[in-house]
Structure formats: structure tokens, C-alpha cells
């Protein structure tokens, strides 16, 4: 399963409304989890089973909560039983399609 999520605090003390420290706290939890992951400008995507991914997302959300009075969580999941390696597999298939190989 792939889980893409974005988590951000609001109601914090940062005068420029920057959330990079909060995001860093969340990404640190993702990296420490050992799960396959990718972070881009909008989302962090992790791959694993329900329990391990939801645990990481919960802990990342709680970490971000330290930076504000409330937290926004956006979550999208690709649930495809029996498929592993989709974090890279989906991109590889897309690239082949763009090159006209599929």
C-alpha cells in the first residue's frame, strides 16, 4: 500500500507562517521508520501495510502538533493487495509509457 500524506500545523508562533521545522519533525519520523518513502514539495509517500503506515502517519502528525494549536492532515492511499515496490514501480511504468515502450 502507498500512503501519501501532508501534515501542517496552524496557530503557531512563526511570524512568517513557515512550517519547515514542523515538516522536518514529521519527515524525521518517516525516515527513522525504515519504510520506503519519498518526500517532495507537497507530500511524503510511504509504502507498507496498514498498521505500520498508519502508525508512522499518526506519530508524524503528533510531532507536527508540537508546532501549533491544531494540525491539518491530508491523506491519500493506493490500496493494492499483493503488490510491493510500487513506490518506484509506478514511476518506472509511467516512464516506460512516456517513452512508448508499453
37 Cβ contact partners less than 8 Å away, ≥ 6 residues apart: 30, 31, 44, 45, 46, 47, 87
Q: pLDDT per residue over 12-38, tens digit each? A: 666 655 788 999 999 999 999 999 999
- Residue 89 pLDDT grade (very low, low, confident, very high; cuts 50, 70, 90): very high
Could you tell me which CATH class the domain 2-98 is placed in?
alpha beta
- pLDDT of the residue at 10: 87
pTM for this prediction? 0.87
Q: pLDDT per residue over 56-84, tens digit each? A: 999 999 999 999 899 999 999 999 988 99
Cα angle for residues 84, 85, 87 (degrees, 5° grid): 120
- Ramachandran bin of 56, using left for φ above 0, alpha for ψ from -120 to 50, beta for the remaining angles: alpha
Rounded to whole angstroms, the Cα distance separating 19 from 73 reads: 13
* Domain residue ranges in the chain: 2-98
- Residue 11 pLDDT grade (very low, low, confident, very high; cuts 50, 70, 90): confident
Amino acid at each position: 500500500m502507498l500512503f501519501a500524506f501532508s501534515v501542517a500545523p496552524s496557530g503557531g508562533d512563526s511570524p512568517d507562517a513557515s512550517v519547515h521545522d514542523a515538516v522536518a519533525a514529521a519527515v524525521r519520523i518517516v525516515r527513522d521508520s525504515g519504510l520506503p518513502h519519498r518526500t517532495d514539495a507537497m507530500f511524503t509517500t510511504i509504502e507498507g501495510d496498514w498498521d505500520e503506515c498508519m502508525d508512522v502517519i499518526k506519530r508524524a502528525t503528533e510531532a507536527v502538533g508540537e508546532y501549533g494549536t491544531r494540525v491539518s492532515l491530508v491523506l491519500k492511499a493506493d490500496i493494492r493487495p499483493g503488490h510491493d515496490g510500487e513506490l518506484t514501480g509506478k514511476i518506472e511504468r509511467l516512464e516506460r509509457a512516456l517513452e512508448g515502450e508499453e
